Amino acid sequence: MSDTRFVPGPPAVLVLEDGARFTGRAYGAVGRTLGEVVFATGMTGYQETLTDPSYAGQIVIQTAPHIGNTGVNTEDRESARIWVAGYVVRDPSRVVSNFRAEGSLDDELARDGVVGISGIDTRAITRHIRSGGAMKAGIFSGEDAALPAAEQLDLVRRGVDMRGRNLSGDVSTGEPYRIPASGERIGTVAVLDLGVKKSTLTYLSERGFDVEVLPQSASADQVKALNPDALFFSNGPGDPAASDAHVELLRESLRAGVPYFGICFGNQLLGRALGFPTYKLPFGHRGINQPVLDKTTGRVEITSQNHGFAVDLPVEGVHDSPEGFGRAEVSHYSLNDNVVEGLRCLDIPAFSVQYHPESAAGPHDANHLFDRFRDLVIARRDETTSTGDQN
Ligand SMILES: NC(=O)CC[C@H](N)C(=O)O
């Protein structure tokens, strides 16, 4: 148990684009931050949530009231830093109490310069957003808390909209790197890092892939130079409609018959590559208790999710790809609201899910999808060996 004690910071205010104001105390860094306000319903796993790069540009409201109890540790980080644009909590733990803790969340937020606010009725704001939709917001603390309310609101309204936003360059690795297979080696997977989480790379390596991680700016030639047995696009922040270069990169690889698996942003980009549009959800899905039906097995999985956009397709039926990639179907959908949660191509070796089979945080119901990917790659390899197809 650490003796790090949380002392509530100076007054702070959360201002929403529609004019709503909620007062509290500074938590983490003191100052000003702007972003899109969204809520996450996970009862555990705040550290994994905060270090998920998909949250870049977003002010996250945690509906679980008590946050920070177990502090922070190196092992539970999903990336090198906290990525949320701001953090809104009800009741930060006064003490850190866990044998794995290396420090407090309050200090970690401050270290990464993340402005937060505590003492907020997070459930009330969640209900507000549930009816009003995700919107722009700002947290103002310290000197910024004293700015006139009209000025604060003006700053919030002039903030950047998540629609049309490409944030991949902010979160992706600058340089390629490699993680060797830790299981029995089956081949090489090229991973386009659009904001990848550590757990995803671990799962891929454990399934026998040498994992070649590429920056989001990678060219088709860079991918080809690796002669990969498979391609993977990660989760990531931003609007999939603003990622044309990634869509083109994916199309080129799909045309060459390279097996593909995508998670979250990688699902939206598969949808776009096939020629289907994406759209913005009213308030998104963020939490670790989201029920999804896997149509291919008839099983329900309780999944970890974090998305504000989705692929626009009817969940029933088979859909012809307007881009000439054959037939595709919705393989998974949300049992809460029928939103598309997975795609499966019937004529090319490609599939993807909108949710997070790597969990972290969340239940492990969907981990088997990494096996599905490995099996797809092995099947494709056996097929090309027997037909002499060198694609
Ligand atoms: N976790 C993700 O990959 C999120 C994808 C996308 N940025 C969305 O909000 O829908």
* pLDDT (0 to 100) of residue 270: 98
Q: pTM for this structure?
A: 0.96
Does the Cβ of 53 fall within 6 Å of ligand 1? no
Contacts (Cβ under 8 Å, ≥6 apart) of 232: 189, 190, 191, 192, 204, 260, 261, 262, 263, 266, 373
* pLDDT (0 to 100) of residue 4: 57
Distance 67 CA to ligand 1 centre (A): 23
Least confident of 16-25, 182-191, 308-317, 381-390: 381-390
- Percent of the chain whose pLDDT exceeds 90: 92
Is 332 in the active site? no
**CA nearest to 14, candidates 155, 172, 173:** 155
Q: Are residues 175 and 98 in the same domain?
A: no
Question: Does residue 5 surpass a pLDDT of 80?
Answer: no
* pLDDT (0 to 100) of residue 389: 55
Q: Are residues 309 and 347 in the same domain?
A: yes
User: Three-class SS of residue 119?
Assistant: coil
The mean pLDDT of 240-248, rounded to a whole number, is 98
Q: Are residues 237 and 323 in the same domain?
A: yes
For ligand 1, atom 5: residue with the closest CA: 265
β-bridge pairing 278-294 and 299-311: antiparallel
* pLDDT (0 to 100) of residue 349: 98
In a domain, 4, yes or no: no
In a domain, 162, yes or no: no
Q: What is the CATH number of the domain that holds 121?
A: 3.50.30.20
Computed over every residue of the chain, the mean pLDDT equals 95
CA angle (88, 93, 96) in 5-degree steps: 125
Domain boundary among 157, 186, 206: 157
Domain boundary among 96, 123, 157: 157
The mean pLDDT of 26-39, rounded to a whole number, is 98
Question: Does residue 390 surpass a pLDDT of 80?
Answer: no
Does the Cβ of 56 fall within 6 Å of ligand 1? no
Question: Does residue 289 surpass a pLDDT of 80?
Answer: yes
Is 345 in the active site? no
Question: Pick the catalytic residue: 212, 264, 307, 341?
Answer: 264
CA–CA dist 140, 30 (Å, integer)? 8
Q: Are residues 148 and 193 in the same domain?
A: no
Q: Are residues 139 and 189 in the same domain?
A: no
For ligand 1, atom 4: residue with the closest CA: 307
In a domain, 251, yes or no: yes
Question: Does residue 261 surpass a pLDDT of 80?
Answer: yes
- Percent of the chain whose pLDDT exceeds 70: 97
In a domain, 5, yes or no: no
Q: How confident is the model at residue 1 (pLDDT cuts 50, 70, 90)?
A: very low
The mean pLDDT of 20-25, rounded to a whole number, is 97
Per-residue tokens: 365 = 């119901």
Mutation pick for ligand 1 pocket among 49, 79, 263, 309 (CB with most ligand atoms within 8 Å): 309
Q: How confident is the model at residue 299 (pLDDT cuts 50, 70, 90)?
A: very high
Q: How confident is the model at residue 183 (pLDDT cuts 50, 70, 90)?
A: confident
* pLDDT (0 to 100) of residue 7: 76
Q: Are residues 153 and 173 in the same domain?
A: no
Distance 41 CA to ligand 1 centre (A): 16
Q: Are residues 230 and 350 in the same domain?
A: yes
> Domain total for the chain?
2
Q: What is the CATH number of the domain that holds 246?
A: 3.40.50.880
Q: Are residues 131 and 206 in the same domain?
A: no
Q: Are residues 150 and 205 in the same domain?
A: no
In a domain, 6, yes or no: no
* pLDDT (0 to 100) of residue 388: 59
Q: Please state whether the peptide bond connecting residue 361 to the residue before it is cis, i.e. omega within 30 degrees of 0.
A: yes
CA angle (260, 266, 269) in 5-degree steps: 95
* pLDDT (0 to 100) of residue 2: 46
pLDDT digits (tens, 9 = 90+) for 123-168: 999 999 999 999 999 999 999 999 999 999 999 999 999 999 999 9
Query: Which residue is associated with the tokens 């029920």?
Result: 291
Contacts (Cβ under 8 Å, ≥6 apart) of 322: 274, 275, 276
Domain that holds residue 153: 11-157
Question: Does residue 309 surpass a pLDDT of 60?
Answer: yes
Does the Cβ of 243 fall within 6 Å of ligand 1? no
